[in-house]
A and B are shown apart, each in its own frame.
Chain A
């Protein structure tokens, strides 16, 4: 009887085999294959000589790549911080309100996240467009000079950060709200009875208790912003003059414009390393159990 049960448990492994096979085939093996490709010279898809770490050295020393990395760092940090701070404020606000009102705000907040990045990029590009875009129409209405947002180096970066934060504020809000909803109400009640002010209970009770929720949202958004190439590609196409050329666009260009697949493989591995570090933090914070 006991061995029968054990056998049943063993056979239970077969339930996960198809899913695992697909994930190993399309997520794990390609990643390992890229690590291998990064050590070779490529002419388009033709594998050339083994070049050791040359591709990696190129990626780490090339000034365009380095600038792209710095741009990515700036955009990622700025967009993530804005999303988390605004998302946190919104979550605290609608948690207090609750009910149907809160549900509507949640839904409206998620709209930018559920529509595609191509569509979001395109629509904002239209709003920021030269003289006809709504943004400049509004500026003109108030008697201000138009700003050609996408054509100007500084404003293009700001626009990119703005659109990336716009996309994820609602998402951050939902994740943080889940933490707030899980709070023990009696704790806050007790603090109130003891004479704690609203500010005190916010900083001493609420925030410390939802710390890991906020941290997780931060990590997820960091990965997503760091590896986002669709929004910059559609909104600014990396311009003007490489001002918004983020690392994933550089990786794309290396592959599909310069056909340097050895170098782009090495760059992919480097990006993957950064993402792996972030995911390691994620697993540590999430403390998954099975």
Chain B
């Protein structure tokens, strides 16, 4: 009897490990294989059977894309994401404070806009044609500020949402005590609260970064030309340009994935808790 349960436990454990392995391989294989391909020379890429390891790595594909304007697109994406994070965190923080601490007219309606904005901008392609028509007519498309503004707007609902719950978690007595000590409102908003809600600010920044860095479709209709192209647009355009040359294609994909995975490794915890932290009331 005892031995039987022991074997059963053993089998369960093996099944579990196998399950975890399959899950890990399925999730990471595309990226792994992309990186491997990007480091092979064209002859190795076309070789059958393909080598997983033990080939002479080359950076020729990286040199090729970097010499064809890819670096400019990386910089554009960095600038777009940076501006969107700065503006989004600032506006989201102020709005979060207002929602968490004050009762003002039309508060319910304003909050409704935040709640609706989250799913609306996840499917940003709903807003694709509307924003194209609208910004074209206002002559607001094709500027350096077009994409940062759009990315801020698309990710602001989520950022505000995260900051509301962050600020709500700070006890109100703290503010009252500061007021009694003679602090003014400006001190409270600019000095007292921000250090206390650092994790929420980090989570908000992270969500804006992912949204801005990964967007392809919105940028592809709102900006044109090499000066304004972002990294995802560059990768997509390479698919037409390089066709079946998988070396440069996977090299550009690798470049786009590295910063995301870096940020994700260090702030993964914030991301997981941001996704779940009171996102819903059961």
A interface residue numbers (CB < 8 A to B): 8-16, 18-20, 22-31, 33-34, 37, 45, 90, 93, 97, 101, 105-112, 114-120, 122-124, 126-127, 129, 131-132, 134, 137, 140-141, 166, 170-171, 174-175, 177-179, 181-182, 210, 212-213, 216, 219-220, 223-224, 226-230, 233-234, 248, 251-252, 255-256, 261, 264-265, 267-268, 271-272, 275, 278-279, 282-283, 285-290
Contacts and interface: CB of A to CB of B under 8 A. Distances in A.
B157 A115 contact: no
Contacts of B156: 19, 22-23
Contacts of B91: 18-19, 22
B243 to A, nearest CB: 11
Contacts of B102: 8-9, 11-13, 15
B98 A13 contact: yes
B205 interface: no
Contacts of B276: 174-175, 177-178, 181
A132 B95 contact: no
B271 to A, nearest CB: 7
Contacts of A114: 210, 214, 260-261, 264, 271
A83 B125 CA distance: 21
A265 to B, nearest CB: 6
B135 to A, nearest CB: 8
Contact of A137 (B50, B131, B149, B239): B50
A285 B107 CA distance: 21
A223 B49 contact: no
Contact of B257 (A105, A115, A227, A267): A115
Contacts of A131: 48
Given A16-B94, A34-B129, A228-B123, A170 B153 contact: no
A93 B19 CA distance: 10
A101 to B, nearest CB: 8
B136 A118 contact: no
B113 A119 contact: no
Given A30-B133, A90-B23, A118-B256, 5 more contacts: A20-B113, A111-B264, A126-B249, A132-B246, A290-B111
Interface of B: 16, 19-20, 23-24, 26-31, 33-34, 37, 45-46, 48-50, 91-92, 94-95, 97-99, 101-108, 110-111, 113-117, 119-137, 149-150, 152-154, 156-157, 160, 210, 213-217, 221, 232, 235-236, 239, 244, 246, 249-250, 253, 256-257, 260-261, 264-265, 268, 271-272, 275-276, 279-282
Nearest to B19: A93
A13 B104 contact: yes
A26 B149 contact: yes
B235 A212 contact: no
7 contacts: A19-B94, A22-B152, A22-B156, A30-B134, A111-B264, A279-B116, A288-B281
A23 B113 contact: yes
Contacts of A20: 95, 110, 113
B280 A212 contact: yes
Nearest to B210: A114
B126 A268 contact: yes
A27 B133 contact: no
Nearest to A251: B129
Given A123-B250, A171-B275, A278 B119 contact: yes
A252 B128 contact: yes
Given A179-B282, A256-B221, A19 B134 contact: no
B173 to A, nearest CB: 16
A123 B33 contact: yes
B98 A12 contact: yes
Contacts of B157: 23
B118 to A, nearest CB: 9
A107 B128 CA distance: 31
Given A251-B128, A261-B129, A122 B235 contact: yes
